[in-house]
A = this chain, B = another copy of it.
Amino acid sequence: MADKNITVACIGLGRMGAGIATNIQRAGFHLTVHNRTPEKTERFVAAGARFARTPREAVEAADIVTTSLMDDASVLEVVNGADGILPGMRAGAVHLGTTTTSPNLSTRLAELHAARGSDYVAAHVLGRPDAAAAGKLVSLVAGKPKAIERARQVIDAYSARVILMGEDPAVASSMKLVGNFFLAGLVEIMGEAFAFAENRGVLAPFSEMVKTFLPGAQEYVDRIRSCDFDRAGFTLDAGLKDIRLILEAAAEVHVPLPCASLVRDRCIAAQARGLNQRDWSVFTAISRMDAGRSYESGAGRGAGA
- In contact, A269 and B249 (Cβ under 8 angstroms): no
Docked-complex contact B196 and A210, CB < 8 angstroms = no
Interface residues in A198-214 (C-beta closer than 8 Å to B): 199-202, 205-206, 209-210, 213-214
A193 is contacted by which of B182, B254, B290 (Cβ under 8 Å)?
Answer: B182
**Which of B179, B186, B200, B258 contacts A253 (CB under 8 A)?**
B200
- Chain B residue nearest in CB terms to A200: B174
Select from chain B the residue with minimum beta-carbon distance to A262: B258
Q: How far is the CB of A286 from chain B (nearest CB, A)?
A: 7
A273 sits at the interface (CB 8 A): yes
Q: Is A264 an interface residue (CB 8 A)?
A: yes
The SS class assigned to the A binding surface is helix
Q: CB of A77 within 8 A of chain B?
A: no
Interface string of A245-264 (1 = CB under 8 A from B): 00001110111111111101
Q: Are A250 and B196 in contact (CB under 8 A)?
A: yes
CA separation between A213 and B216, bound complex, in Å? 7
- Report the contact-size class of chain A (Cβ under 8 Å from the partner): 35 or more
Contact across chains for A193 and B199 when beta carbons are under 8 A apart: no
Contacting residue for A205 out of B175, B255, B264, B287, CB 8 A: B175
Kindly state the separation between the CA atoms of A124 and B297 in the bound complex, as whole angstroms. Answer: 32
Q: Are B272 and A266 in contact (CB under 8 A)?
A: no
Is residue A291 within 8 Å, beta carbon to beta carbon, of the partner chain?
yes
Are B206's CB and A179's CB within 8 A?
A: yes
Contact of A186 among B177, B189, B273, B292 (CB under 8 A): B189
Contact indicator B206/A175 (Cβ below 8 Å): yes
Q: Is A188 an interface residue (CB 8 A)?
A: yes
Q: A197 vs B140: C-alpha distance in the bound complex, in angstroms? A: 15
When distances are taken between beta carbons in the complex, the residues of chain B under 8 Å from A259 are: 188-189, 192, 259, 262
Instruction: List, in ascending order, chain B residues with CB within 8 A of A230's CB.
Output: none
Check: A195 CB closer than 8 A to any chain B CB.
yes
A202 to B188, CA, bound (A): 23
Shortest Cβ gap from A244 to chain B (Å): 9
Residues on B with C-beta less than 8 A from A165 are 202, 205
Q: Does A87 contact B (CB under 8 A)?
A: no
Q: Is A103 an interface residue (CB 8 A)?
A: yes
Residues of B within 8 A of A111 (CB): none
User: Can you add 10 more A-B contacts, CB < 8 Å, to A192-B255, A200-B253, A258-B265?
Assistant: A175-B197, A178-B202, A178-B206, A179-B206, A185-B193, A192-B260, A196-B250, A256-B290, A258-B261, A262-B262
4 closest A-B pairs by CB: A272-B292, A254-B272, A256-B265, A185-B189
Can you list 6 A-B contacts (CB < 8 A)?
Answer: A163-B209, A186-B189, A255-B272, A256-B272, A261-B264, A273-B292
